[in-house]
Amino acid sequence: MERVITGKEAKFIDEVTINEIGIPSLVLMEKAALCVFNELKNNYYNYLIVCGSGNNGADGVALARMLYQNGENVTVLLISKSEGTTEFKLQLDIARKIGVEIIDFVNEDNLDEEYLEELFSANDCIVDAILGIGLDRQVSGLYFDIIGMINECDSDVYAIDIPSGICADNGEILGTCINATVTVTFGEYKIGQIAYPGKKYVGELIKKDIGFLDTEEVFANYESEDLEIRDNYIITSKDLELIPDRIERSNKGTYGKLLVIAGSKDMSGAAFFTGMAAYRMGAGLVNIVTSYENIDVLKDKLPEAVFTGYNDLRDECEYSKIAEALDKYDCIVIGPGISTDDNSAILVEMALESGKNIVIDADAINVIASDERYIEKLHENCILTPHMGEMSRLIKRDISEISDSPFEMATFFRDTYNTTIVLKDANTIIATSRGDNYINVSGNEGMSTAGSGDVLSGIIGGLMCIGANRDIVAPLGVYIHGLAGDYAKEKLGSASLMARDILENISEVLMMKDNL
Ligand SMILES: NC(=O)C1=CN([C@@H]2O[C@H](COP(=O)(O)OP(=O)(O)OC[C@H]3O[C@@H](n4cnc5c(N)ncnc54)[C@H](OP(=O)(O)O)[C@@H]3O)[C@@H](O)[C@H]2O)[C@@H](O)CC1
Ligand SMILES: [K+]
């Protein structure tokens, strides 16, 4: 896994590197500018570097100097009214002395909108050095207009560190933002580059090491009074190694027993997808608990499973049959297609009281949302997997409020109920009961299709079942699900992609792990 940091955490790492270790700010800046220069040199005819007057702008001016000294056509456009940081003033002074062409838009009265539009389209590469991680308020006025004009022209746009206007802390767009072709960032990825809506505007994201002190060392050894460090990560393909290996001399008992409580009248598909996904992940034995009428059809589709049927759980004999199964099995998935009737409420209560590792999905979430009694029973071994609608019912907030700040909502829920939550969205946020947060980076738009969520709950259940580390099963499962969807998209395109295709490509992901 790789760390993803907020803008404030990035600033803290800057400060420790500069003030505690003694690496001068200008040395870091020179390296930052050099990294962008190496991406750009000899690739375009004319470069326009649009600069604010913070250190992001200073990076831009340093880059202009490097391009100029490499014999390229480069112009700097200054758009800030303020004098700027010490580094900015110094970079500007050097650039002027060396002979870089500099247009000071704010202080020249004869430059108008038409002039600017011509200037933007005359340059085939525009570099956005307006605002970086120091953005701290809504973008308005001249900055707003200029960002709009840059987005209108056809030139390639390279953003230094982060496209101007995106909040590095959470991906929010503060009024407007640059729509970048490429973003070159320094040190660690920032949340704003990975999380929607910011992610949409980052283009190709390139991360460069410019010599900051190691992040883990900074967070472990230095304290900041006004900064609460959060453990935010992304899962990458290297983490597939965390899927437990098959053992040569083993039997089905080695790979665990999973109870899948899924499906109700007319909803047998959900039980199939969840059970099959768990088997594809390598689960040893899956027992599907479902209403009696589903069993014949499921036996036909998934003969590898065993089945426990029920009709009415107020019947003592049926109740104790489920209680016995709950007792015998290692972990549980509950919810896909179970409906929200009285039987489901009884099943949810029994599952929660078992204290086992449990994935809670779909209608089981709706049952929990319907009565305070259940939400209080959540515990650290639960993984809830709501989509936006289910989350809205769960925490009684509007969907729009949740989708504007999914990160805050997921972490709030985890902090309140000490449970793991997987908030499903274009980039799913996972807040684990251990206190780590993950932003998922795999998957695609084709996966918004019926049954996709059932497959996810089966993958996470399967991972639990084969003994993957409890703290990692949720983010790793979400990543595997997305990757299986990406394999499916490669073969079928996104419009035709169905839940069964995600299922069929789980094995591609596991083979990828074997080839690491
Ligand atoms: N040694 C280092 O530190 C290194 C730093 N590096 C680079 O520095 C960047 C961070 O630099 P930074 O901290 O100076 O902030 P930055 O992003 O330039 O913005 C601050 C300026 O923007 C202004 N401003 C803010 N919001 C605004 C708005 N909505 N609309 C208009 N103006 C707004 C704010 O104005 P003020 O509040 O002063 O009026 C201030 O002038 C980082 O992303 C990386 O590129 C690298 O070189 C590596 C070494
Ligand atoms: K920028």
CB-ligand 1 contact for 14 (6 Å cutoff): yes
Go through 400-412 and write b for each residue having 16 or more CB atoms within 10 A of its CB, e for each that does not.
eebbeebbebbbe
Q: Is 307 in the pocket of ligand 1 (CB under 6 A)?
A: no
Per-residue model confidence as pLDDT tens digits over 85-103: 999 999 999 999 999 999 9
**CB burial class (10 A; 0-12, 13-18, 19+) of residue 163?**
buried
**Cα 101 to averaged position of ligand 2 atoms, centre (Å):** 20
Q: 454: annotated binding-site residue?
A: yes
The answer to whether the CB of 381 falls within 8 A of the CB of 473 is no
CA 40, 42, 48, 49 torsion-angle sign: positive
Domain boundaries, the chain: 2-229, 246-514
245-246-249 Cα angle (round to 5): 135
Ligand 1 geometric centre to CA of 54 (Å):
4
122 is in an annotated binding site: no
- Report which protein residue has its CA nearest ligand 1's atom 35: 54
pLDDT at residue 251 greater than cutoff 90: no
Distance of CA 157 to the CA centre of its chain: 24
The answer on pLDDT for 108 being more than 80 is: no
Ligand 1 pocket check for 60: Cβ under 6 Å:
no
Q: Is the CB of 54 under 6 A from ligand 1?
A: yes
Distance CA 486, CA 482 (A): 6
313 pLDDT band, cuts 50/70/90, is very high
* Separation between Cα atoms, residue 169 and residue 381, nearest integer Å: 29
For the structural domain made of 246-514, what CATH number should be given?
Answer: 3.40.1190.20
13 lines ligand 1 (CB under 6 A): no
**Cβ distance 485 to 453 under 8 Å?**
no
Ligand 2 centroid distance, CA of 45 (Å): 21
CA nearest ligand 1 atom 4, residue: 29
pLDDT digits (tens, 9 = 90+) for 431-441: 999 999 999 99
Annotated ligand binding at 253? The verdict is no
Average the pLDDT over 155-178 and give the result: 96
Determine whether the shortest distance from the Cβ of 134 to ligand 1 is under 6 A: yes
Q: Is the pLDDT of residue 181 over 70?
A: yes
Instruction: Specify the higher pLDDT residue, 504 or 403.
Output: 504
pLDDT of residue 110: 64
Residue 174 carries which DSSP code? Answer: S
Higher-scoring residue by pLDDT: 105, 147: 147
The residue nearest atom 30 of ligand 1, judged by CA position, is 139
514, 510, 424, 418: which is closest to 474 by C-alpha? 424
Task: State the average pLDDT over residues 30-53.
Answer: 98
Q: What is the mean pLDDT of the chain?
A: 95
Q: How far is the CA of 136 from the centre of ligand 1 (A)?
A: 9
Q: Alpha-carbon distance 438 to 237, whole Å?
A: 14
Among candidate residues 487, 490, 456, the one with its CA nearest the CA of residue 473: 456
Among 302, 277, 282, smallest CA distance to 290 is for 302
Please report how the helices 406-417 and 388-395 are oriented relative to each other, as an axis angle in degrees rounded to 10.
50
d(CA 237, CA 466): 19
Q: Which residue has the higher pLDDT, 309 or 225?
A: 309
CA distance 388 to 94: 52
- Say how far apart CA 131 and CA 378 lie, in whole Å: 43
Tokens coding 303: 């003969």
**pLDDT above 70 covers what percent of the chain?**
99
Residue 344 C-alpha to ligand 2 middle, in angstroms?
51
By alpha-carbon position, which residue is closest to atom 15 of ligand 1? 134
> Can you give the pLDDT at residue 403?
86
Q: What is the pLDDT at residue 405?
A: 83
Ranges assigned E (strand) in 12-148:
46-51, 73-78, 101-104, 125-129
User: Sorting pLDDT into bands at 50, 70 and 90, what band is 112?
Assistant: confident
> Is residue 55 part of an annotated ligand binding site?
yes
Ligand 2 mean position to 276 CA, how many Å?
Answer: 46
Ligand-binding site membership of 211 (annotated): no
**Span 435-459, mean pLDDT?**
96
Identity of residue 127: V
Helix (H) or strand (E) holding 119: helix 113-122
The best mutation among 133, 137, 143, 189 to test binding of ligand 1, ranked by most ligand atoms within 8 Å of the C-beta, falls on 133
Single-letter amino acid, residue 350: M
For residue 15, pLDDT over 90 is answered with yes
What are the phi and psi torsion angles at 412 (to 5°)? -60, -45
Cα separation, 380 vs 457, in Å, equals 17
Query: CA 118, 121, 127, 128 torsion: positive or negative?
Result: positive
Element of type H or E holding 307 = strand 306-310
CA 279 to centroid of ligand 1, rounded, Å:
51
Please classify residue 74 by burial: count the beta carbons closer than 10 Å to its beta carbon, then call 0-12 exposed, 13-18 middle and 19+ buried.
buried
What Rg value do the Cα atoms of the chain yield, rounded? 27
What distance in Å separates the CA atoms of residue 381 and residue 138, rounded to the nearest whole number? 40
- Superfamily (CATH) of domain 2-229: YjeF N-terminal domain (3.40.50.10260)
Residue with tokens 């399967």, as numbered in its chain: 462
Q: What's the one-letter identity of residue 79?
A: I
Any idea which ligand is nearest the CA of 36? 1
- Residue of 265 and 218 predicted with greater confidence: 218
Cis peptide bond upstream of 197, omega within 30: yes
Residue ID of nearest Cα to ligand 1 atom 31 = 139
Residue 59 known to bind ligand: yes
Q: What is the pLDDT of residue 113?
A: 85
Confidence tier at 250 by pLDDT (50, 70, 90): confident
Q: How far is the CA of 158 from the centre of ligand 2 (A)?
A: 8
Ligand 1, pocket-test mutation among 49, 55, 140, most atoms within 8 A of CB: 55
Q: What is the rounded average pLDDT of the residues 469-493? A: 97
Alpha-helix residue ranges (DSSP H) falling in 185-315: 191-194, 215-221, 268-280, 295-301
Return the H-helix or E-strand segment holding 15. helix 7-15
Binding site annotation covers 314? Answer: no
Pocket-testing residue among 56, 63, 209, 210, ligand 1, by greatest number of atoms within 8 A of Cβ: 56
> Any idea which ligand is nearest the CA of 168?
1
